[in-house]
Structure 1
């Protein structure tokens, strides 16, 4: 499988100690991976919300003489454009971008060990708190809905406010050892604060985020990236959703009773006439 532009960028950044501003630039580049080789330093600075000198310093931190050298490198490693329809409308472009995000996720999953490690951590936590606020609330809800079919105690945390810390306290007191978090842009400050507090309680934080350079990275013990699409008015999140389902599969592998629970649910559902066939 040919590496996607986003994958090549992630590889370029690996091993470099980046400042928060530089991580912001890196995050922006990953999100706009297909466009970056053709952006000026001024354009990239505007997209990332930083100064133009910050972009130059970022390029130097990666080992290049300056931003022009970084851009030349990106153009050299960019694959030749494949034959494609002459014109795609904005909706088709959004679909193509999501397909690219899924290809990137597939390449990341070539090494299954991070997902397997995360699945084991989640399976072992009793209870298992699942956090997602604002844009990520639906991802947390979907994960918690299915997780509850195989895990004995799942606690959904999809509303913020002063009681969020109380719920984390209660989960920790009840024996929780891990926290599952979904974090998507725009990243609420409250999520960073909640993860910081969760770590202070001794919870191991597993996070699905849109990038390895997302603001939640510094307060996550295990971060699994899945890019979002940015071509429409609201972000599209097919890759984070699919990664959540992959994590559920890995978690089931750590729950010996998972299959029995699913079969028992099917029996009860049939007795209640729960679903229309």
Structure 2
């Protein structure tokens, strides 16, 4: 079984009786303190429970994981949707030193993008592009922290293709905005921890209407990955009260550019017309005007 798809607590319980004495101590600590253990190195976890680092590593392999890093990843997946904002805020102490914190945060963003590149299924990405171009109408759903991603995708997608609607909370309920969805439409659902239950409910509804769904999320164990026809994964790991949206934004940029390349001939005329309107109504300051004002 894929390390990332293991039900960790169930695996520990099923294997508990055959673990060594030291490994049982580790298992008991993890089951009671999984939110703390998830961010400990093998050395630190061993120190806390009073066993050697090698015992921690053997504990991971005895559960069927390829190594301790895989066990740690499973722990982090487990807590993504369970930690409260207050608990996650306490983890921000890792960034308390401004200079060290700045570099750690930027480095984490870089690692998220690298992991996104490494895990990307290009065939799935191309099928998503095809689905967007073939859809009669496109609905984009991203609530709470994912709202910014949904708005960004909706803004540019609205330039490239016809009939794009961003579904958001407001004067009307999200279900009212998506009520007329059909099997000829496409719904793009964006969801990151802590996963919005409302997003999941809406996607379950449109699935019942035989509508095709594209999911943009952080992991294949995300709730929406089980519903979506196609799932694009962009990592968002950040040991803080906020999630990193850098990799998801980069993925969305790639999606927009790929569609723009496919539709280059069609949108060239559109942008030429826009340039005329922008110039006529002074939407943007020209360099010449700026230069004159500087004088």
What's the CA shift string for 1:131-181, capped at 9, x where partnerless?
100110110001001111111111011227973222212243xx7421111
Question: Partners in 2 of 1:184 and 1:46 — Cα distance?
Answer: 20
**2:267 matched to 1:267?**
no
Question: Partners in 2 of 1:101 and 1:215 — Cα distance?
Answer: 20
Change (3 A) 1:167 1:22: farther
Matched position secondary structure for 2:213:
strand
Question: Partners in 2 of 1:20 and 1:168 — Cα distance?
Answer: 37
* Residue in structure 2 matched with residue 258 of structure 1 by the alignment: 267
Matched position secondary structure for 2:160:
coil
**2:251 matched to 1:243?**
yes
Q: 2:62 aligns with which of 54, 64, 69?
A: 69
Unaligned runs of 5+ in 2: 12-25, 39-57, 71-96, 287-295
* Residue in structure 1 matched with residue 205 of structure 2 by the alignment: 197
Question: Partners in 2 of 1:20 and 1:69 — Cα distance?
Answer: 12
**2:132 matched to 1:122?**
yes
Larger radius of gyration: 2
| Structure with more relative contact order (C-alpha pairs < 8 Å, separation 6 or more) | 1
* Residue in structure 1 matched with residue 50 of structure 2 by the alignment: none
Unaligned runs of 5+ in 1: 1-10, 24-39, 51-64, 78-86
User: Is the CA contact (8 Å cut-off) linking 1:129 and 1:176 kept in structure 2?
Assistant: no
Change (3 A) 1:198 1:180: same
**What is the TM-score with the length of structure 1 in the denominator?**
0.69
**What is the TM-score with the length of structure 2 in the denominator?**
0.65
Matched positions, count: 224
Question: Partners in 1 of 2:159 and 2:199 — Cα distance?
Answer: 26
